[in-house]
Amino acid sequence: MSENNNKIGYYSSIETFGAVDGPGVRLVVFLQGCLLRCKYCHNPETLEFKKDKPITVDEIMALYKKNQSFYKNGGITLSGGEATTQIDFCIEVFKAAKAKGINTCLDTCFGTYQEVDKIQDKWKELLSYTDLVLADLKHIDNEKHINLTSRPNTNILQAIKFLDKNGAKMWIRHVLVPGWTDDKEDLYKLGEFVGELKNMERLEMLPYHNMMVPKYENLKMKFYLKDVEPPTKDYVKECRKIIEQGIMAKK
């Protein structure tokens, strides 16, 4: 047992049979802590940097081994919160996983990325053990991104370009929130941006839902989108077509 496999991370919850966070059935670990404050956050319990639920690399690998017959076409996903707030832990988990031939997937909103050599080197190391990145692109417009998440999107767009330059396979994810992320011009510009990526394998349009509202009530947190109705399937398709038009404009 190596010292690195005893490295401690802090998590909020673990989904043993995750089916929506990467290919196949997966072990999904939701790590604690996030820099963004998205108004529609699905996991508000993960936002604060709490250290009340520690877990080691070995413990994650033991959980995987326990149910590995179910993960034949899946693997391990690190999510959050923002997993890369604990980037050293992510590196050690994925390093251990790759040593055993396990598929690795990182779900990230890139809140920790900066164009600084030290930070970029950490990201490069993490990417060397990452098979797939689920890249959350909240909003293409910077001011609207700040209003939606409390943070600018400048470093996030830089991060996506950085990953693409370094050959990272990505699924771009955009949550469609009526009245917030569905402006037609913004959707087209988002399409133009991702249309220039060489390593985007998939675009996922995720319809906003309000199933997280009870979490906010239990945590006594304000939920800002209580009057927003989830989009219809037809509206999701209509908005996706606008993004696809932007993508095709760059092909």
- Would the pLDDT of 110 be above 90? yes
User: How many Å apart are CA 121 and CA 87, to the nearest integer?
Assistant: 11
Give residue-wise pLDDT tens across range 62-76. Answer: 999 999 999 989 999
Half-sphere exposure (Cβ direction) of 30: Cα atoms closer than 13 Å: 19
Give residue-wise pLDDT tens across range 4-23. Answer: 777 999 999 999 999 999 99
Task: For residues 160-165, give the mean pLDDT.
Answer: 98
Give residue-wise pLDDT tens across range 169-224. Answer: 999 999 999 999 999 999 999 999 999 999 999 999 999 999 999 999 999 999 99
What's the confidence (pLDDT) of residue 2?
59
Task: For residues 128-157, give the mean pLDDT.
Answer: 98
Other C-beta atoms lying within 10 Å of the C-beta of residue 146:
13
Phi-psi region of 75 (alpha: psi -120 to 50; beta: other; left: phi over 0): left
- Would the pLDDT of 156 be above 70? yes
Task: For residues 127-132, give the mean pLDDT.
Answer: 98
CA dihedral 185, 81, 197, 203 (to 10 degrees): -70
Give residue-wise pLDDT tens across range 31-69. Answer: 999 999 999 999 999 999 999 999 999 999 999 999 999
Strands (E) in the chain, as ranges, are 8-18, 26-31, 54-56, 75-79, 103-108, 132-136, 170-176, 200-207
The whole-model pTM stands at 0.95
What's the confidence (pLDDT) of residue 64?
97
Confidence of residue 234 (pLDDT cuts 50, 70, 90): very high
Can you give the C-alpha Rg of the chain in angstroms? 18
Domains of the chain in start order, with CATH, are 4-249 (3.20.20.70)
Task: For residues 137-149, give the mean pLDDT.
Answer: 98
